[in-house]
Structure formats: C-alpha cells, structure tokens
Structure 1
Amino acid sequence: MTREQIENAAKEHQSKLPYCDDRKVRGEFVGNYYGFIAGAQWRINSVWHEAETELPESGCDTLVLFRGGGCEITDSGTRFDLWRAVSQWAYLDDLLPERKEVRNDTESRIIPSSL
C-alpha cells in the first residue's frame, strides 16, 4: 500500500464522520485523519522482523526477504542454511488480512473479521 493509498483511505474514512465548525471538534477531525495514517503505517511495518535478531517459529509459513534481493515462502523449519542471507521475514498470516464471509439478503461480501 502506498502513502497515497493510505491518505485516500484516511480521507474516505474521515468523510464518513460528522463535521462541525466548532474549533475543538475540527481539531479532533484533523487528528483522526493523521491517526488513521499513522495506524495504517504501523500495521504495514509491524509485521516485519529483522532476521539478525529474531527467527520465526518452526512450521509457520513465512515470507523471507533476501539481502541481495528476492524473496521466498518457507515453512521456517526448512533450509535454515539460508537464514544468514535473509534480511527480514514476516508470517504469512500477519501479511494477509483475516476475513470472514458475511451474507445479507442481497449480496455476499468479504469483510475483515475485526469489524
């Protein structure tokens, strides 16, 4: 997700909030926008671990980024000879949003399970 996409999502989220010309409420309105962006950036960056300081649990599907470029998906328990060449890693479960299917009378759609 690019910074522009995050900012657009923040504006979309913010547009659903009630607006008031009160100075205090305006400050909260702006704070909500910047808080949304900071939260999105934290979420993106929080899933990555430095291979020099931490290795993943064995048996968990993991995306690894190599120092020289490139990446690989591994179950973490195999090919530990490669870990010296890895710069960062992330659990696939952390990279993919949790989803559940919701049905209503007219349509079926996928929404994040945290909602």
Structure 2
Amino acid sequence: MKKNIKEAIKEHLYANEFAADPNNPGFVDRFIEHTKAAEWGANWRINSVWHDAKECPERKRNYLAQCKNGRFNVIPDSMNWDNFYKKAEIIRWAYIEDLLPNMED
C-alpha cells in the first residue's frame, strides 16, 4: 500500500535526524511547513503534466487520455486531433514519459 505524502515526509525527517527533539515547538512548526510545502510540490508535479484536450499532442508520441466518462486510454498518435478528441470526449491528456517518475539523482 502506498504511503500518503505526510507519512512519507515524517519518515524522511525522522530518518535524517530532523527530529532531534519532537517536543520542541520549533520542530513541530518546521515539520508542518515542510509537510505543506512537499504536499504542494507533489500536487503541482502531478497536475503539471496534464494538458487540456484543446491542445494537440505532438504526432507519433504516446500519451494517456482521460475521457469524459472517466476512462483512460493510451493513444499512440494524434492524427486528426480536432475531430478525434471531440468524438472520444477527451478532457485532458499527458505524455506517457511525463507520467513516469524521474529516476535521476
């Protein structure tokens, strides 16, 4: 089961000895601010890769499209995009490689 972001941040902070004294009010304030900032950053990253359906994807690039009915489809090309996205009721799309985690350090 995946951890929620707050649990992951807390684990990271404790593992890196950020919590030398968890009863210290300064630590609690910093923890809350770090948690909020990381959560905001994670949400931004998740949402930043999605494009509005009116924006045409590049040709011959795989992308994931979310349709109005809630389904997702992997589509290999954007030929005839204007007609296709309206007919398929696509509301947003993202390039597959943008959805994959960045494994670089």
Q: What band does the TM-score fall into relative to the shorter chain?
A: 0.7 to 0.9
Task: Report the CA distance between 1:22 and its aligned residue.
Answer: 6.6
Instruction: Output the CA distance in 1 between the equivalents of 2:4 and 2:34.
Output: 16
**In 1: Cα distance, 2:80 partner to 2:10 partner:** 44
- Runs of 5+ unmatched residues, structure 2: none
CA distance in 2, matches of 1:97, 1:73: 18
Deviations 1:5-37 (A, max 9, x none): 2222222222234235373x5433321121111
The TM-score normalised by the length of structure 2 is 0.74
Which amino acid in structure 1 is aligned with residue 61 of structure 2?
C
**Residue in 1 that maps onto 2:57:** 56
* Contact 1:64 1:90 survives alignment (8 Å): yes
The answer to whether 1:30 aligns with 2:29 is: no
C-alpha distance in structure 2 between counterparts of 1:71 and 1:82, whole Å: 15
| One-letter amino acid of the counterpart of residue 94, structure 2 | A
* Cα displacement (A) at 1:87: 0.3
Deviation at 1:75, TM superposition (A): 2.3
Question: Which runs of 5 or more structure 1 residues have no equivalent in the other structure?
Answer: 99-111
User: In the aligned structure 1, how far is the partner of 2:51 from the partner of 2:11?
Assistant: 31
* 1:93 equivalent among 86, 94, 97: 97
Asked whether the 8 Å contact 2:60–2:76 carries over to 1, the reply is yes
Q: Which structure shows the bigger proportion of residues in strand conformation?
A: 1
Higher relative contact order (CA 8 A, sep 6+): 2
